[in-house]
Amino acid sequence: MDWILNLSIPAMILVVLALVYLVTAVIYLIVTRLATGERTRVFKAVSPGMLPPMSVVFALLIAFLASQVWSDSDRASAAVNREASALRAVVLLSDQFPGEPDTQMRGLIRQHIQTAVRDEWPAMARHGVTLSIMPGALAQALKLALSLDPHTPGQNIAQREMVTALQTALDARRQRIVLSGSSVNVVKWGAVLVQAALMLIAIALVHCDSPATNRLILGLFAAAVAAAIVLVAANSRPFSGAISVQPTLLLQVMPEADGGT
């Protein structure tokens, strides 16, 4: 489903609608062809009372998936915000060590952000980043902060806060990488799609003796199924697709090459 998940929202809506209506049309044609003679009586014996419980089960499945994907997206956004805030704090605190230490620290922070935006974000969209990949520039920045030789009480405080902020940035980076691997697995998608198909079949059986009504109800429910699938699919991966977490905040806190902020 990767190609569907990476479509724009309008394109995803059109593709999902087309696929759902195609399946619905196949179900309608099969049931209509089979609903002849004795089989019509058998199909009509299916109780309409089974439709509400099946609809509730489908709604609960969608609610559980939506809760998962929204939670992952919120946590991913929070991780990026925390990383950006920590890096901004490091840049501000480095002013307490003017000269080479300040310039070197700003350069390392800039290098880390550039690497994150250029390399890590596309790799996270492909689920291709793991914690085994070390953040070289950020690790060097932490070593630099630990090696500073403070001469005033203010520099002592700045060094401690700088080390804490860098550790926070490292932890936030780990969190976003872990969250970049989250997605709705095949079993969950399968459960939702099977439940939707069973609902369509049940509707087609209950209304098999009234083609016009059958088409109307099937069409309405198919549209609802497509909307639910698009809702989950568009948010299923925090760092890929049309609705994804972007490195905008990291770019906003990136130090300028000339030493500005």
Q: Is residue 64 part of a domain?
A: no
Domain count, the chain: 2
Q: How far apart are CA 221 and CA 212, in angstroms?
A: 14
Clarify whether residues 210 and 257 are in a common domain: no
Do 190 and 175 lie in one domain? The reply is no
The pLDDT of 116-126, averaged and rounded, is 91
| Closest to 184 (Cα-Cα) out of 235, 118, 146, 224 | 235
Nearest CA to 163 out of 149, 176, 144, 150 is that of 144
Indicate the helix (H) or strand (E) that contains 241: none
The answer to whether residues 132 and 34 belong to one domain is no
CB count within 10 Å of CB 103 equals 14
Same domain, 168 and 257: yes
pLDDT > 70 in the chain, percent: 98
Which range marks the domain in which residue 80 is found?
75-183+246-261
Digit-coded pLDDT (tens) for 18-47: 999 999 999 999 999 988 888 888 888 888
- 153 in the same domain as 226: no
**Per-residue pLDDT band at 258 (split at 50, 70, 90):** low
Write phi, then psi, for 165 (nearest 5 degrees): -65, -40
DSSP string, 118-178: IIIHHHHHTT---TTS--HHHHHHHHHHHH----SHHHHHHHHHHHHHHHHHHHHHHHHHH
pLDDT score, position 6: 84
Mean pLDDT computed over every residue of the chain: 91
Rounded mean pLDDT, 202-229: 92
pTM value?
Answer: 0.84
DSSP state of 254: P
Q: Give the pLDDT band (50/70/90) at residue 256.
A: confident
In a domain, 240, yes or no: no
Same domain, 153 and 202: no
Domain for residue 114, yes or no?
yes
108 within some domain = yes
Q: Is residue 54 part of a domain?
A: no
- Is a pLDDT exceeding 60 seen at residue 259? no
**pLDDT (average), residues 53-60:** 93
State whether 87 and 149 are in the same domain.
Answer: yes
148 and 202 share one domain: no
